[in-house]
Amino acid sequence: KTLATYTAQCFGAKNYEGIKKGIKVAVLQSFIFVLPLILISSFFAEGVSGLFLPKDASPDAIGYTVNFLRWGLPFITINVVANLYHNYFRGIGYMSALFVTSVSGSVARVIASFILIPYFGIYGYYAGWIIAWPVDALVGVGYYLFSKRCKALR
């Protein structure tokens, strides 16, 4: 969310170089914050899942949680990228791009989950998220690279 506020301030002041700098800092900062959490959650998945599940949780619930932490959570780095684009679009007031990127990710998740859940159960649901995140991020990249509004700010 900080990127949206900073971008809006720079956009209002016509400080387009500041937007570029803000994006670079936000990318670095996001990965610095998220990577340690991913590493801890992946390598200590049982302990982390124990923080959120009751002590008498079923072995299935623990297994699903541990598997998501180990195999699904690392893909959240793609979602971090998508959220950076969301905040950039929010900051420059490009709400149609924000809407389309968000909806494209949501639609991709619903479709992927609908197709995969019958075959893979809850893992199909997890895969729906993992498939949706790059869709969302790629649509954001497309707007950023090819829309006239974003090109004018670069």
pLDDT at 1 over 90: no
125 vs 107: CA distance, rounded Å: 13
Query: Has residue 137 got a pLDDT over 90?
Result: yes
- Average pLDDT estimate for 72-76: 94
| pLDDT band at residue 70 under the 50/70/90 scheme | very high
The dihedral built from the CA positions of residue 115, 118, 132 and 127, taken in this order, carries a sign that is: negative
pLDDT at 19: 94
By C-alpha distance, which of 91, 87, 79 is closest to 132?
Answer: 79
**Cα–Cα distance, 121 to 116 (Å, whole number):** 7
| Mean pLDDT value of segment 43-49 | 96
Q: Given this model, what pLDDT does residue 152 score?
A: 84
**Per-residue model confidence as pLDDT tens digits over 79-113:** 999 999 999 999 999 999 999 999 999 999 999 99
Distance between CA 145 and CA 149 in Å, rounded? Answer: 10
pLDDT at position 4, please? 95
